[in-house]
Amino acid sequence: MNLKNILYILIVAVLGWVAYMLMNQEKNQTTLKKEYYDFKIDDTASVTSFIISDYDNNKVELKRKHTGYWEINNKHRARVDAINNILDMAKRIDLKAPVPNNAKKNVLKNIAAYYKKITFYKGNSIIKSWYFGTPTKEHDGDYMLLEVSGEKMPEPFIMTIPGHHGYLSPRAFTDEKEWRHPEIFAYQMQELKQVKLTNHDEPELGFAIKIP
């Protein structure tokens, strides 16, 4: 075999290897369309309520009553820090990485089986819904699927908050007790007319304060 034939075989082999690598790379890439991973809500002040549910039929509803005051299931005041965690996540969530096509089927299967879901509302209209699956192996992001206008997007993505260390789904809990504000008296100052202390052991130590 002369040198010319050897060079020809080497060139064909290299071109074949390059073609294989390109095809394999294309197979493992996913479609990067912004509408598929547009989870972000820029105007979180427009969010009037949200519902969190999960695969185990647990559900909580949070409603904004007025600035800084939210209620859980129309019964109790909700924790301000937990509300802020959800709204902060909605405002800052961003794409970490696409899910390779060869992993997408399993990711979608896991989301369907073990999901948490947040549906954001403006009045009676749904803004968008998020589905959380499992976190990544490194626990630095969440496999998520977006739903808009009742239609689930065809591609899941790995989402995170820039600068945040950890995954996001623990913010979306469905235990009503965890959402309750740890206040003792659920009254606004303007609602109070009098505060009275009664000492049953020593009545003379009791007192009352009238609020004008």
81-137 pLDDT, tens digit each: 999 999 999 999 999 999 999 999 999 999 999 999 999 999 999 999 999 999 999
- Candidates 47, 71, 82, 51; CA nearest to 170 is 82
Of 195, 199, 175, the closest CA to residue 185 belongs to 195
Q: Model confidence over 156-171: pLDDT tens digits? A: 999 999 999 999 999 9
Angle at 195 between CA 197 and CA 69, to 5 degrees: 130
Of all helices (H) and strands (E), which one includes residue 85? Answer: helix 80-92
**Model-level pTM?**
0.75
